[in-house]
Amino acid sequence: MNRFLGWAIGLPLGLLAAVFAISNRTSVPLELWPLPIEPVALPAFLVVLIPLALGLIGGMTLSWLAATPVRRKSREQARRIESLERQLGAIKGRPDGG
């Protein structure tokens, strides 16, 4: 289901980005006002899509980092469950009926 949902959302967004890029190929001057850098002429779609992509990557990175404690706790709990299951199996496997 998740894979289908990913394709159902990602494909139209990808097509929309492609159409946007094709429609906005004209050069626009990019000037970083407080910095003493000469204006750079870039296609309009890059001026929009590059910050969008950087924001997406940054958000995904922050989300991954925020989930680190949850993943660590999950691994610890999985190890504990495995250990307890081994102990239970050893107890059930005792010949004295323990």
Parent domain of 13: 2-66
Residue 37 within a domain: yes
Residue 23 has what pLDDT? Answer: 92
Residue 6 within a domain: yes
What count of Cα atoms within 13 Å lies in the side-chain half-sphere of residue 11? 6
Residue 74 within a domain: no
Residue 82 has what pLDDT? Answer: 96
What is the biggest distance separating any 2 CA atoms in the chain, rounded to whole angstroms?
85
Residue 50 within a domain: yes
Cα distance between residue 2 and residue 14, in whole Å: 17
Residue 92 within a domain: no
Return all residues near 27 (Cβ < 8 A) that are at least 6 apart: 41, 42, 43, 44
Cα distance between residue 98 and residue 84, in whole Å: 16
User: What total of structural domains would you count in the chain?
Assistant: 1
Residue 51 within a domain: yes
Kindly give the parts of the chain with pLDDT less than 50: none
Residue 57 within a domain: yes
Residue 1 has what pLDDT? Answer: 76
